[in-house]
Amino acid sequence: MLNQGWRALVGVALALAAVALPAAARPYKAEYALSIMPDAGTPWGKGTQLWADMVRERTHGRINIRLHTGASLVGGDQTREFSALRQGVIDMAVGSTINWSSAIPEFNVFSLPFLLRGCRSLDALTQGEVGRELFRRVEEQGVVPLAWGENGFRQLSNSRRPIRAPEDMRGLRFRVVGSLLFNDIFTALGAVPTQMTWNDAMRALRARKIDGQENPITVFNNVRLDTLGQRFITVWDYVADPIVFSVNRQVWDSWTPQDRDIVRDAAIEAARFEVTLAREDAMSGGSAAWDDLAARGVKVIRLTPEQRQRFVDATRPVYAKWKALVGRDLVDKAEAAVRDEVTTAKLNEPDVRR
């Protein structure tokens, strides 16, 4: 009886010891799955691959990361990526704030129509109080956010006609991402929005079942949307799409503090590299990418301030509705950050009167 009792006590002690075993003492996985939506040739893909490569090299192979493109780990449905990351189906991800907004509604702040005024205003949000608050929301969901990257400002393309005013969009069918905010924006502009995955959108564009789509110019060029009949691009910079370098919380806790520092530092470096790539040739001014589009027969329409204001006015009710849904306090902070950046930029402009 004593032997049986002793064995039982030892068993309980071992079980308790296993539960109390520090996370960092658990064995590492042979391979960690890292998910992204686009392919490896985009700035997004190149920045993500750099992150994986740096981590593998700096940890001497302790953390071996495999990149999975096309949201393949969630069957191509990018809107499910964050849930899969949170649940541990995916170990790591560099995900779009638009695609993750169904889980974190506050991410819709970047999609409020015409809130942002260029890259510096976007930086004012991601690198300031708004960005820190959004990272706290991500952490509350069981995911560790490490750095902000960027998919870019989204432009409008279609196969039917030049678009210079909201009336030009009337009746046109546009693929939009899986956020009801985008449905509201395009409906307010007189278009017919259709939510679908990117893979479905490519097929629909090829079959002429939809007329257009909206994406950063880097995406347009990478997949050669002009070969799918997208002959007109309107540069309107109506929303931006930051991306987040992230790790599942349990995976993060399983690493040593030293390896966590390596992963975080590598994410910050890779994100800076990725943002530089995303902004290269994607500014509204003339550049090689835009010149190449013209050479391929794509008509690029640049809105005048007056033309752009008509789109702003047409979407103000949508902005007001979604400001309440996103959270007035957060949006107020975002608006203040944008105003401050615009004011600073004006003060720094050279005095051309001299």
- Residue 149 falls inside a structural domain: yes
Average pLDDT for residues 123-149, to the nearest whole number?
A: 97
Query: What is the reported pTM?
Result: 0.88
- Residue 292 falls inside a structural domain: yes
pLDDT for the residue numbered 294: 84
Q: How confident is the model at residue 336 (pLDDT cuts 50, 70, 90)?
A: very high
Structure tokens at 108: 């819709």
Structure tokens at 89: 């189906």
Range of the domain at 201: 32-346
pLDDT for 237-253, tens place per residue?
A: 999 999 999 999 999 99
Please classify residue 5 by burial: count the beta carbons closer than 10 Å to its beta carbon, then call 0-12 exposed, 13-18 middle and 19+ buried.
Answer: exposed
Please classify residue 231 by burial: count the beta carbons closer than 10 Å to its beta carbon, then call 0-12 exposed, 13-18 middle and 19+ buried.
Answer: middle
- Residue 16 falls inside a structural domain: no
Residue bearing the bigger pLDDT, 72 or 19: 72
Structure tokens at 107: 């991410």
pLDDT for the residue numbered 348: 66
CA dist 302 and 277 (Å) reads: 22
pLDDT for the residue numbered 218: 87
For position 59, which CATH number holds? 3.40.190.170
Characterize the bridge pairing of strands 32-35 and 212-215.
unpaired
pLDDT over 60 at 69, yes or no: yes
pLDDT for 179-234, tens place per residue?
A: 899 999 999 999 999 999 888 999 999 999 999 999 999 889 888 999 999 999 99
* Residue 111 near residue 177 (C-beta atoms within 8 A): no
pLDDT for 315-335, tens place per residue?
A: 999 999 999 999 999 999 999
- Residue 18 falls inside a structural domain: no
Torsional sign, CA 98, 104, 107, 108: positive
- Residue 295 falls inside a structural domain: yes
pLDDT for the residue numbered 34: 98
- Residue 78 falls inside a structural domain: yes
Number of independent structural domains in the chain = 1
Share of the chain above pLDDT 70, in %: 88
* Residue 265 near residue 104 (C-beta atoms within 8 A): no
Average pLDDT for residues 9-30, to the nearest whole number?
A: 53
CA dist 52 and 47 (Å) reads: 9
Q: Name the average pLDDT for the chain.
A: 90
- Residue 219 falls inside a structural domain: yes
pLDDT over 70 at 12, yes or no: no
Q: How confident is the model at residue 30 (pLDDT cuts 50, 70, 90)?
A: very high
Average pLDDT for residues 109-125, to the nearest whole number?
A: 97
- Residue 294 falls inside a structural domain: yes
List the alpha helices (DSSP H) in 280-327.
288-295, 305-314, 316-326
pLDDT for the residue numbered 286: 45
Q: How confident is the model at residue 256 (pLDDT cuts 50, 70, 90)?
A: very high
Average pLDDT for residues 291-316, to the nearest whole number?
A: 94
pLDDT for the residue numbered 295: 87
